[in-house]
Amino acid sequence: MKLEGSYDVKAPRQKVWTAFLDPETLRQAIPGCEKLELIGPDEYKATLKIGVAAVKGTFEGKVRLLDKKPPESYRLAAEGSGGPGFVRADTVITLTDIEGGTRVSYSADVQIGGLIAGVGQRMLGGVSKMMADQFFNKMSELLTTA
C-alpha cells in the first residue's frame, strides 16, 4: 500500500527538523504511542496501541532513521508486530521552506499482514490517512506552542 501526503507547519524548517527527530515530541504526536525509547544511534523501540475496526492490539517494534540530510530529508524504516499482525513501513520525509513555515511531505510504502490485513485495503488506507492527520496536527500544535 502506498501512502503520500504533505502538511504545512507554521514553524521554521530547522525547528521542524529537530522536532521530527526528538523521541519525546514524536511519542506525544504518534497516535496510540505508549513508549518510544532510544536503543541506539537513530534507532528506537516503540510500543503502539492501535485499533482498526474490530481488530485492536498492541504493537511492539523498531524505528530506524536512515539517509539523513539535515534539514531536508530522511528515511524512516519501521516494523512492528503484535496480536493483530504485523506492519512494515518505509517512509521518505522531505522538508521544504514555504512562506510562513515548512512543508512536510511524506511518501510511504506500507506492508501489512495477519488479522489486521483482513480489514481491507480501503479501510486501512482511510485509517492510515486519519492517523497521519492526527500526527501532523499534533506536531503542528507542539511546534507552535513550544
Q: Which residue has the cell 525547528?
A: 15
- CATH number reported for the structural domain that contains residue 77 in this entry: 3.30.530.20
Average pLDDT of the residues in 89-99: 96
User: Residue 1's beta-bridge partner residues?
Assistant: none
> What domain range is 105 assigned to?
2-145
Mean pLDDT (the chain) is 91
pLDDT above 70 (res 146): no
**Cis preceding-peptide flag for 41 (omega within 30 of 0):** no
**3-state percent breakdown (helix, strand, coil) of the chain, nearest 5:** 30, 55, 15
Per-residue pLDDT reduced to its tens digit, 41-74: 999 999 998 877 777 889 999 999 999 999 999 9
| 57 CA to centre of own chain | 18
* 32: nearest Cα among 102, 114, 132: 132
- Give the total number of structural domains in the chain: 1
State pTM to two decimals. 0.88
